[in-house]
Structure formats: structure tokens, C-alpha cells
Amino acid sequence: MAAPTDAPRAPAGLPLPAAIDARVLKKLADDVGGEENLRELIASFMDEAPALLRSLRACFDQQDLKGVERAAHTLKSLSASFGAMGLSQTCRGIEDLARKGTLTPQAAVAEAEAGFAQVEGALARYPNV
């Protein structure tokens, strides 16, 4: 099935799955001087985000609210920078609950992990990544 003509496009002009807001990715490419630099940043994101997710899970398992808040906050911001708005929103919810002293339901952590899997798949399809 062909992508609709108004589907979001990556900087290289290819459609991206809904896990990524292509407009954010395009702006980031423009801000960092082009697609070559963006590919390097994507590779860095793909290295850093799994470590943040592991930290989020470990802090949740240890009932460390400050650690949950810190990991969720960092992953929220990092995800938003790459247009992963759904993952960012999930992490915002986890961060807000932890800040209020409420241990995030395990389902929310699992949702963040699943959200990253979608983001990872979308960014892996980005040209030359």
C-alpha cells in the first residue's frame, strides 16, 4: 500500500512510522547541519536510550522514586528531541507520578519499553542508520 501524499516524511523524503514525528526529525537534521550529522545523533540515541530504560526498570524494581523520576525525565527529553512524542508522553506520566511520590504502575514502565521498541524500529529504518 502506498503512503499517502501527506504522510510525514523523514529528511530523506521517506515516510516514517507514527512512532516518530518526522517534522521534529527534519528540524533536528536542519539544526545539526544535515542528515549525516543526524545519523550520528540517531546512533547515539540508540545507544543511550536502552541504558535509560534499564535504569528506569531497575529503579522501579527497587522502588527508588527519585531514580524513576530521573530516568523518566531524561528519557522524556531525549525522546522528544528525536520526535518520539508518544514515548516522551509516557515518560512524562511516569516522571509526574514519581515526583508526586507514587510508584509508577509496572504497566507504565512496560509501555515505555514497548514504545522504545517502536521508536527503535522506526529509527533503524531511517536511511543509512
Segment 52-79, tens digit of pLDDT: 999 999 999 999 999 999 999 999 999 9
Residue 43 has pLDDT above 60, yes or no: yes
- 95-98-102-103 Cα dihedral, nearest 10 degrees: 90
Looking at residue 95, the DSSP 8-state letter turns out to be H
Q: Hey, where are the domains in the chain?
A: 22-124
- Nearby residues of 121 by Cβ (< 8 Å), 6 or more positions away: 17, 19
Give the C-alpha separation, 60 to 74, whole Å: 15
The predicted model gives 23-39 an average pLDDT of 94
- Quick count: other Cβ atoms within 10 Å of Cβ 64? 16
Per-chain mean pLDDT for the chain: 85
Per DSSP, 15 falls in state B
CATH number for 22-124 (one of 3.40.47.10, 2.60.120.560, 1.20.120.160, 3.40.50.970): it is 1.20.120.160
What CA–CA distance (Å, rounded) separates 92 from 109?
11
Confidence of residue 127 (pLDDT cuts 50, 70, 90): low
DSSP 3-state of 9:
strand
CB atoms within 10 A of CB 82: 24
Report d(CA 96, CA 98) in Å as an integer.
Answer: 5
